A and B are shown apart, each in its own frame.
Chain A
Amino acid sequence: MSAMDSSNLVRDMLSRMFAVGKRFDGRKLLEQRDFTVEYNVSNKAEGSARVRMGKTDVVVGVKLEIGEPYPDSLDKGNLMVSGDLLPMASPRFESGPPKFNAIELPRLIDRMVRESNVIDLKKLVVVDGEKVWIVIIDIYPLNDDGALIDAASIATIAALMQTHIPSLDENGRIDHEGKSTKKLPLAEGTIPLTFSFYKLGDSMIIDPTREEEEACDSKIIWGISNWKGKEHMIHSCQKGKETPLNREDIEFMMKELPKLYDDTLKKLKKFLK
């Protein structure tokens, strides 16, 4: 055990506070921190955004490349999501081969983006069956104070909405100097986001700080959208940590999740261009 793991004292204190609906930072249990979205983190990226949610700070950049389609999806462009937990963002992150958390973050964003079909990959074919656009989403936290995935999901959507498809020169190569106004084709009306629920004792919270994340027994991350602008749809989920969730917990989340999504979407829309 490292000295950075949260102490039993903090855990007991949080557990008692959650039981009466309180948190260290004064939020309610199911209250998300306010966030801001900033664009154009790098003018070399085809789209980029930075989200600050409390002290959590994440940058996401989208790059487009030309490549071959996968043999099982010749009529579609490719999607790749990667990223790294940079050691600059937290004393808990180390350099070297990716640890589980560094693998899980991009994979959960990948599933949210892919399964919601927010990117219209069928419109990203350049030469039928031979050449397609590859959309690469890279996620880097600059400061980790919990709920990295949720902040990354907001930044991913914001960045995708800004993303342009670069122009190609006469040899079919990307013209990095040329300006393009062609937007990345996105699905009409579908905006996916993730929500992290953490459980300590019998209490459930959302958008945990790092301290709360470490104190909790169980977690689950949901990806949800307003699918085609019609209805709430869950696209991804992953339970973590070593304590089970019971049926009541899951039914509770299914009631609250659509409301939380609607609130966050309203906040996000103020920043979308």
Chain B
Amino acid sequence: MVFKRSDGRKLDEMRPITAKVGIIPNADGSAMFTFGKTIAIAAVYGPRLLHPQHMQNPQKAILRVNYDLLSFSVSERKKPGPSRRSQEISKVTEWSLSPALDLKEFPNTVVDVQVYILQADASTRVAGINAASMALAQAGIPMRNLVCAVSIGKMDKELVVDVDNGEEHFEDGEGATDFPIAKLANTDEYTLLQLDGKIQPALIPKALVLADKACAKIYEVQKKALKEVVSE
């Protein structure tokens, strides 16, 4: 049996992706990123002085990420406020972005990144990372690179790119695996690796190859969106 995607996509095909930079005038940087029906927005404030003082790092700015689903972004209303899930995603998002940043110029300050999901159809954390990466660039934070992220799935025995909500709940055969991956663009440096499901060790390197190809496309879309906001 070969797994067929419900929306007719090829196994290695992402949903339509869009990006827009500069969506929140108050923020130092902001962006939106979508994978099909999944919509993530991100805003950056800072570098600004960090309080309380004991949290300050005299050698560099600290990065502080907050990720959450808006209450109406999912079928069953999500209770507002942080959950264990959102706290975990906030932290892994922080880890996936910080290798791209050079924060040594801004001691004792904080760079706050706020990521919210307006509409969720799976792959929300990777959409959030793509949006946050562009927002940091627009805010003028010194960056070595952009961060690109995509989720690789495994449906029964087939690897697929950019998992949607229906696929996340696939139960036949070996079931569904969700493998969100982030990397520094055009490198083989991976900054986010999370996984849930059932996947043979030998398939992990193959999943990385699929992620690389998808991330190359995402990188182009991010660059284009950043150039558009500069020329406006």
Contact = CB atoms under 8 A, between A and B. Distances in A.
Interface of A: 1, 100, 103-104, 107, 111, 115-116, 220, 224, 227, 231-248, 250-251, 254-255, 257-258
Interface of B: 57, 84, 87-88, 91-92, 95, 98-99, 179, 183-184, 187-202, 204-205, 208
A141 to B, nearest CB: 18
Contacts of B201: 224, 232, 234, 254-255, 257-258
A237 B205 contact: no
Interface of B is mostly: mixed
Contacts of A224: 201
Contact of A244 (B84, B190, B198, B208): B190
Contact of B200 (A234, A243, A255): A234
Contacts of B191: 239, 244
Given A107-B88, A241-B95, A246-B189, A234 B194 contact: no
Contacts of A242: 95, 98-99
B196 A236 contact: yes
B110 to A, nearest CB: 15
Nearest to B201: A254
B161 to A, nearest CB: 18
B106 to A, nearest CB: 16
B198 A238 contact: no
A250 B204 contact: yes
Contact of B198 (A104, A227, A240, A258): A227
Minimum-distance CB pairs A-B, first 7 = A244-B189, A237-B195, A239-B193, A247-B188, A254-B201, A242-B98, A244-B191
Given A241-B95, A250-B190, A250-B205, A234 B195 contact: yes
Contacts of B187: 244
Contact of A237 (B95, B193, B202): B193
Contacts of A237: 179, 193-195
Given A244-B190, A247-B208, A103 B84 contact: yes
Contacts of B57: 1
A244 B184 contact: yes
A231 B194 contact: no
B194 A115 contact: no
Given A238-B92, A238-B193, 17 more contacts: A100-B87, A100-B91, A116-B198, A220-B193, A233-B200, A234-B199, A235-B195, A235-B196, A235-B197, A237-B195, A239-B95, A239-B191, A239-B192, A240-B92, A244-B190, A246-B190, A250-B190
A254 B99 contact: no
A134 B200 CA distance: 30
Contacts of A115: 196-198
A44 to B, nearest CB: 26
B204 A240 contact: no
